[in-house]
Amino acid sequence: MTIRLGYQIPNYSYPDTPDDRLFDVVIAQAREAEASGFDTVLVMDHFYQLPGLGSPDRPMLECYTALGALAGVTSTVQLSALVTGNTYRNPPMLAKTVTTLDVVSKGRAILGIGAGWFEREHDDFGYEFGTFTDRFEKLEESLTIVAPMLRGEAPSYAGKWYTVKNAMNNPRVRPTIPIMLGGSGEKKTFRLAALFADHLNVICAREDIPRKVAALRQRCEEAGRDPATLPTSFLASVVVAERSAELETLLDGVPPRARARMICGTPDEVAAVVQKEILDPGITGLTINMPLIGHRPGAVALAARALAPLVT
């Protein structure tokens, strides 16, 4: 398993689209991604829209229900959360959930997982947020339980945060389900990735990528793992248009600071930035989202035309 080119759907606010037609737009994006060369479709695991993408009351779908529905309307793309908030689910229930997605999709599920960070969601929904240390202790205990369950084992475990006894997980359609960690923490997240993960999605500023790649190599060496066995991807927001004039229209009203975090340009310009700033420093794959234009028919395919040749 690896993610060479992933398409993340980060928002469900689409112009002139009532709630009962919202998922049709999600389906259209997933199908366009599959048809145009993306190998993975991902959604966020959040209850509220994130700061920077919209106000908290904007539409946000529960991720595993959405992924299960996407399994029925796609046939080849892998399906994952980017990433599951560990604090929102009991670990064996999470193993059961992602394994069910794997059965429904005929072997296309990935468990994307992270420690959780959005404090307001925890407070509003009644989940304990705890300290930074608490959340990473929980994540490590969770992985200790979930990883063997995804392999068909029935672990027993008694930890500080979680306890299970012979936790079985059937049915299954593959010997195991791949695990992807997502985050930027060079000490904690990268260490857990080296110990447990089949893939790491790195979330950081582009200028920080060389340092992150070096830190990951160090964590792998400390864990006795060959860094080449842990593929990586980078999450980037993209705005791509055939012509510069069209691009400026799309970006009208977007603050300069937000523009700076995106990769914006014609297909050739976007491809050049991705190659130089993401792939050349050592990241092996790419996941993009396009909150401004992803809902427009043809936008996902245009991004694939620019980026698929770089990672295949």
Q: How far apart are CA 297 and CA 306, in angstroms?
A: 16
What are the backbone dihedrals phi and psi of residue 185, each rounded to the nearest 5 degrees, phi first? -70, 115
Could you tell me which residues come within 8 angstroms of residue 94 by beta carbon, excluding any fewer than 6 positions away?
84, 86, 111, 113, 142, 146
Q: First CA to last CA across the chain, in angstroms?
A: 14
List all residues 6 or more positions away from 199 whose beta carbon is below 8 Å from its beta carbon: 1, 2, 3, 110, 178, 179, 180, 181, 230, 231, 232, 233
Q: Which domain holds residue 94?
A: 5-68+78-236
61 vs 104: CA distance, rounded Å: 19
CATH of the domain at 197: 3.20.20.30
For residue 86, being part of any structural domain is answered with: yes
In a domain, 155, yes or no: yes
| Residues 125-173: tens digit of each pLDDT | 999 999 999 999 999 999 999 999 999 999 999 999 999 999 999 999 9
pTM: 0.96
Residue 109 to residue 260: CA distance in whole angstroms:
33
Is residue 179 a contact partner of residue 150, using CB atoms and an 8 Å limit? Answer: yes
Examine residue 17 and state whether it is found in any structural domain, yes or no: yes
Residue 268 lies in a domain: no
What confidence tens digit (pLDDT) does each residue in 221-270 have? 999 999 999 999 999 999 999 998 899 899 988 888 888 899 999 999 99
**Is residue 260 one of the residues assigned to a domain?**
no
pLDDT tens digits along 55-64: 999 999 999 9
pLDDT in tens, 171-228: 999 999 999 999 999 999 999 999 999 999 999 999 999 999 999 999 999 999 999 9
Number of domains the chain contains: 1
Residue 192 in any domain: the answer is: yes
In this prediction, residue 253 carries a pLDDT of 85
Using alpha carbons, select from 107, 263, 241 the residue that is nearest to residue 175: 107
User: Beta strands 199-202 and 179-183: pairing type?
Assistant: parallel
- Domain membership of residue 278 (yes or no) is no
User: pLDDT tens digit string along 4-54?
Assistant: 999 999 999 999 999 999 999 999 999 999 999 999 999 999 999 999 899
E strand or H helix at 155, and its extent?
Answer: none
Please indicate, yes or no, if residue 270 is contained in any of the structural domains. Answer: no
Q: Could you tell me what percent of the chain has a pLDDT over 90? A: 95
